[in-house]
């Protein structure tokens, strides 16, 4: 079953912003539901500023008016699919936590592709892949309070530009969605957030063979790919923390991080 926990307005009329217009309504729904479809409690407006939790089922939501996310969680093979910004520019502000626990999948998908994505997520809270998978096909802007974390061998996939703040990888993979007809993934080339490795092992996946050079003077990873008979820069990954060249190696499409004691 799936739980859809709604935070609604206490003054809302019945069915317009949640059941009976009361705060913190918990509704048990079927294993698969598309918000706004016949039988969906309250329609799309009912999730405004609310909590979406999928535990073992699927919640599919398509919303062109949603502006705030408070809690989105997928666990125990649960799936949350949120589609927004399909026909026009749309901004979602995360004020709480978006988290995929083991077996969980969260897909945040906007219209367009690459540098033309029509959806933006402003992260003022936390986006955590804690053993689960989070796929973001949207631009992401992180405020000073926003952070992304990958732990417990979780996976975070980015398809758009990600700006500001830090992506902390304790264990797991930061994956960049592939881009056709370009030297490397657009999401990697448009990443300006810092990356910090806090565990023993982690990886960055570019979806195609890469080479890397760790530059101690600027504390970054220069990533290159074969392109047009030569070599082209695919990304410049800015690092946060203390590292050495020995910490990084290449295995096919991935840059592997393996912590070595600083002597």
Q: What is the pLDDT of residue 37?
A: 34
**Residue pLDDT, tens place only, 126-135:** 999 999 999 9
Highest mean pLDDT among 21-30, 145-154, 177-186: 145-154
User: Is pTM beyond 0.85 here?
Assistant: no
Q: What is the pLDDT of residue 262?
A: 61
CA distance 73 to 133: 11
CA 193, chain centre distance (Å): 13
CA distance 260 to 248: 10
CA distance 241 to 176: 22
Question: What is the chain's mean pLDDT, rounded?
Answer: 81
CB neighbours (10 Å) of residue 68?
17
What is the SS3 assignment for 186?
helix
Quick one: pLDDT band at residue 54, thresholds 50, 70, 90? confident
CA distance 261 to 254: 22
**Residue pLDDT, tens place only, 98-132:** 999 999 999 999 988 877 899 999 999 999 999 99
Q: What is the pLDDT of residue 159?
A: 96
Nearest Cα neighbor of 247 from 186, 208, 203 is 203
- Distances from the Cα of 213 to the Cα of 33, 135, 166, 224, angstroms: 47, 27, 21, 9
Highest mean pLDDT among 66-80, 151-165, 178-192: 151-165
**Residue pLDDT, tens place only, 214-251:** 999 999 999 999 998 999 999 999 999 999 999 999 99
């Amino acid at each position: 079953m799936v739980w859809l926990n709604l935070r609604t307005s206490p003054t809302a009329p019945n069915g317009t912003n949640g059941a009976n217009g009361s705060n913190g309504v918990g509704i048990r729904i079927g294993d698969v539901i598309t918000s706004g479809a016949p039988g969906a409690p309250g329609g799309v407006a009912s999730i405004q500023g609310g909590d979406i939790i999928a535990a073992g089922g699927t919640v599919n939501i398509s919303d062109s008016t949603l502006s705030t996310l408070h809690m989105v969680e997928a666990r125990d093979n649960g799936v949350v699919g949120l589609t927004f910004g399909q026909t026009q520019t749309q901004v979602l502000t995360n004020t709480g936590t978006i988290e995929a626990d083991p077996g969980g999948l969260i897909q945040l998908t906007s219209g367009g592709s690459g540098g033309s994505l029509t959806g933006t997520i402003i992260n003022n809270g936390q986006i955590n892949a804690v053993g689960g998978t989070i796929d973001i096909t949207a631009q992401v802007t992180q405020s000073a309070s926003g952070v992304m974390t990958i732990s417990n061998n979780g996976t975070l996939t980015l398809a758009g530009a990600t700006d500001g703040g830090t992506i902390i990888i304790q264990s797991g993979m930061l994956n960049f969605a592939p881009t056709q007809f370009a030297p490397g993934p657009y999401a990697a080339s448009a990443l300006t957030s810092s990356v910090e490795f806090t565990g023993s092992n982690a990886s960055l996946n570019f979806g195609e063979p890469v080479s890397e050079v760790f530059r101690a003077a600027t504390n970054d990873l220069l990533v290159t790919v074969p392109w047009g008979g030569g070599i082209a820069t695919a990304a410049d990954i800015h690092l946060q923390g203390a590292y050495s060249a020995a910490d990084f190696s290449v295995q096919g499409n991935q840059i592997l991080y393996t912590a070595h004691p600083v002597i």
